[in-house]
């Protein structure tokens, strides 16, 4: 297995897929809570953290499948944040028998047409390349990081973001991610796993549109964390971990 991974705790396996711009350290506040009840697997996605750089077009869904195969896991709960939520959703559609529960935290979605506001923001960040410090500054100045950048987690997020951007611009040889076809947006009603969709209230309007699409998932619950932005996995880790634990154990939760 090429990817760097860590396992903590015992019990039913939960596999956590981090967002873009960071690495698996982003789960550091949630893992201790979840590991009290579950076997928690975290890993650095290809090109991030301690995993090898992207050298050719890569399927993140197949990377995940190979990791589960390596660990001998044939039925798991997936927790995916942002693009990690996109990976988790696509995986649940590609390998339905392997996913018992699906938790998506402020997920992106294959096939979704993003707003001009969002695409302009991405373009303005990318225009700063290859100036790493400028890239990080512009990226984290985005409105969806407002709460986190005003919190004690600011330095940690900046550090992870800097590490990520440095690797992208010095080590990556490919930027192409391969996604299953047809895109998930056309197949959400086929998700068999019981699903939980969680988001904060400081988000792009796009996130609310994505949530509307997810209403097509047959067995889904929605939860919103007030005052949380896109990096709620840092700022609201305990609340998130509690929601996930209650969802996985069948306890009532709001």
pLDDT exceeding 90 applies to what percent of the chain? 93
Please determine, for residue 69, whether its predicted confidence score (pLDDT) is greater than 70: yes
Mean pLDDT score of the chain, rounded to an integer?
A: 96
Please determine, for residue 80, whether its predicted confidence score (pLDDT) is greater than 60: yes
Q: How many Å separate Cα 14 from the centre of its chain?
A: 13
Residue 252 has a pLDDT of: 60
Chain segment 120-162, per-residue pLDDT in tens: 999 999 999 889 999 999 999 999 999 999 999 999 999 999 9
Chain segment 13-25, per-residue pLDDT in tens: 999 999 999 999 9
pTM (two decimals): 0.96
């Amino acid at each position: 297995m090429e990817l760097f991974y860590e396992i903590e705790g015992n019990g039913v396996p939960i596999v956590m897929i981090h967002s873009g711009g960071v690495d698996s350290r982003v789960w550091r506040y949630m893992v201790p809570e979840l590991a009290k009840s579950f076997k928690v697997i975290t890993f650095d996605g290809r090109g991030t953290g301690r995993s090898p750089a992207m050298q050719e077009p890569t399927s993140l869904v197949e990377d995940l499948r190979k990791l589960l195969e390596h660990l001998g896991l044939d039925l798991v709960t997936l927790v995916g944040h942002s693009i990690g939520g996109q990976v988790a959703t696509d995986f649940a559609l590609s390998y339905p028998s392997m996913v018992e529960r699906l938790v998506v935290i402020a997920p992106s979605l294959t096939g979704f047409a993003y707003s001009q506001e969002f695409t302009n923001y991405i373009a303005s960040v990318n225009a700063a390349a290859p100036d790493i410090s400028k890239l990080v500054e512009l990226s984290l100045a985005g409105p969806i990081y407002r709460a986190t950048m005003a919190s004690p987690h600011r330095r940690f997020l900046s550090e992870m973001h800097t590490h990520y951007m440095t690797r992208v611009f010095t080590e990556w040889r490919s930027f192409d991610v391969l996604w299953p076809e047809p895109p998930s947006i056309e197949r959400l009603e086929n998700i068999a796993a019981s699903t939980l969709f969680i988001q904060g209230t400081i988000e792009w309007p796009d996130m609310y549109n994505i949530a509307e699409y997810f209403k097509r998932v047959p067995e889904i619950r929605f939860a919103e964390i007030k005052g949380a932005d896109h990096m709620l996995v840092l700022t609201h880790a305990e609340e998130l971990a509690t929601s996930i634990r209650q969802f996985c154990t069948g306890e009532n939760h709001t």
